[in-house]
């Protein structure tokens, strides 16, 4: 039951936040997007390694 409540809250937040972001005039320049995208894969890999270590520590 808790999972359904959590999913409901997340979907409600998406339905509220996404239109607010689309209405704002915040635009990201291609240079800034390039700088940000450079960090995505290394952060994903670090996250996966940390999760693997946590799973090994649990048993």
Name the pLDDT band for 16 (thresholds 50, 70, 90).
Answer: very high
SS3 at position 1: coil
pTM more than 0.85: no
Please, which pLDDT band fits residue 15 given cuts at 50, 70 and 90? very high
Distances 53 to 2, 30, 33, 47, 58 between C-alpha atoms, Å = 27, 36, 31, 10, 9
pLDDT tens-digit series, residues 26-38? 788 899 889 889 9
Going by C-alpha positions, the residue among 25, 23, 3 that lies closest to residue 11 is 3
Domain ranges of the chain: 2-58
Whether residue 59 is predicted with pLDDT greater than 80 in this model: the reply is no
């Amino acid at each position: 039951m808790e999972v359904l409540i959590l999913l409901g809250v997340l979907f409600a937040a998406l339905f509220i936040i996404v239109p607010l972001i689309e209405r704002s005039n915040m635009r990201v320049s291609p240079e800034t997007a390039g700088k940000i995208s450079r960090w995505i894969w290394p952060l994903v890999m670090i996250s996966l390694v940390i999760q693997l270590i946590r799973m090994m520590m649990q048993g």
